[in-house]
């Protein structure tokens, strides 16, 4: 009887020790997934996750950021240059060609000289991540405010996203390729 009780106690101790080891390992893994960020004097907790968990969110934000930098203009040469520089880090030569064509046509100098403001409102982004590179199509509305009128334009673009290394200038680690403006036509014009 004593032998059986001692054997049961030893087996129970090993089982309990194994259970504690398993729980401690799980707790350490959970703790390693947490990241604490100090922002504005406050400690914020962030959770670590793999890239594939957030591909859709990051891809949409990359597409949104590029289009907002590229199509949002104010009559300020420095601001236009700063926004377009940020936009060109996010796209390949297809965007640079459109940019060069706009420079050659005098579009940006016209924005500055005529005090035009241009804003982009994105309606939707259709993204297909089932194939690589990832295909997207963006639908939006541009509002161009001139001194005498406000023009509303429909914007539709498409392109592909491929993975690149993350950097300070390209935080999402995507590059837009084969970008094309499918539609950029006037919807309505209102006098001011």
Tokens of 158: 């498409």
Encode burial over 170-191: b for 16+ CB neighbours within 10 A, e otherwise.
bebbbbbeebeeeeeeeeeeee
What does the pLDDT look like over 134-158, one tens digit per residue?
Answer: 999 999 999 999 999 999 999 999 9
pLDDT above 80 (res 39) = no
Q: Give the pLDDT confidence score for residue 31 in this predicted structure.
A: 74
pLDDT above 90 (res 179) = yes
Domains, in order of start, for the chain? 51-191 (3.10.450.230)
Contacts 24+ apart (CB under 8 A), 148-151: 148/191, 148/192, 149/189, 149/190, 149/191, 149/192, 150/189, 150/190, 150/192, 151/186, 151/188, 151/189
Q: Give the pLDDT confidence score for residue 144 in this predicted structure.
A: 94
Q: How far apart are CA 50 and CA 155, in angstroms?
A: 33
Question: Regarding beta strands 149-163 and 174-191, do their DSSP bridges make them parallel or antiparallel, or are they unpaired?
Answer: antiparallel
User: pLDDT confidence of 38, banded at 50, 70, 90?
Assistant: confident
Q: Give the pLDDT confidence score for residue 49 in this predicted structure.
A: 58
Q: Give the pLDDT confidence score for residue 29 in this predicted structure.
A: 82
Q: Residues, the chain, total?
A: 192
Q: How far apart are CA 8 and CA 30, in angstroms?
A: 33
């Amino acid at each position: 009887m004593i032998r059986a009780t001692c054997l049961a106690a030893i087996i129970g101790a090993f089982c309990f020790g194994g259970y504690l080891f398993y729980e401690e390992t799980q707790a350490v893994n959970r703790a390693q997934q947490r990241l604490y960020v100090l922002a504005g004097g406050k400690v914020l907790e962030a959770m670590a996750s793999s890239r594939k968990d957030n591909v859709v969110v990051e891809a949409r934000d990359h597409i949104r950021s590029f289009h907002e930098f590229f199509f949002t203009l104010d009559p300020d040469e420095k601001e236009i240059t700063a926004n377009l520089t940020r936009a060109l880090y996010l796209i390949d030569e297809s965007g640079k060609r459109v940019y060069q064509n706009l420079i050659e046509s005098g579009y940006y100098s016209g924005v500055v000289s005529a005090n035009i403001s241009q804003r982009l409102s994105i309606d939707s982004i259709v993204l297909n991540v089932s194939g690589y590179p990832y295909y997207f199509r963006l639908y939006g509305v541009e509002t161009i405010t001139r001194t005498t009128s406000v023009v509303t334009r429909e914007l539709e673009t498409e392109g592909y996203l491929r993975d690149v290394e993350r950097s300070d200038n390209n935080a999402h680690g995507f590059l837009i390729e084969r970008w094309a403006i499918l539609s950029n036509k006037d919807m309505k014009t209102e006098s001011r």
